[in-house]
Amino acid sequence: MLKRFQAALIESYRQPRVAKQFTETNQAELVLEDGPALARFVERQISTWGEVARANHVKST
């Protein structure tokens, strides 16, 4: 059941109108891949934004 839900969700997000609305509304990139691909994406984001935060001396509160 979960696999069917995932497939249906991905199918709907791949519709150009839905993808455009999601991107414009959330200012986020859709990742429509499996778990390992999502993990790689998250690692790249952590690396990228970690460098930006360190370069600008951003500290957590």
Give every residue of the chain whose pLDDT is below 70, as ranges: none
Confidence at residue 58, expressed as pLDDT on a 0 to 100 scale:
94
User: Do residues 38 and 60 touch, judged by C-beta distance below 8 A?
Assistant: no
Confidence at residue 56, expressed as pLDDT on a 0 to 100 scale:
95
| Residue boundaries of the structural domains of the chain | 1-28, 31-61
For 33, the enclosing helix (H) or strand (E) is: none
Confidence at residue 47, expressed as pLDDT on a 0 to 100 scale:
94
Q: Is 13 left (phi over 0), alpha (psi -120 to 50) or beta?
A: alpha
Confidence at residue 17, expressed as pLDDT on a 0 to 100 scale:
93
Confidence at residue 52, expressed as pLDDT on a 0 to 100 scale:
93
What is each CA distance from 59 to 23, 45, 49, 53, 55, in whole angstroms? 28, 17, 13, 8, 11
Confidence at residue 6, expressed as pLDDT on a 0 to 100 scale:
78
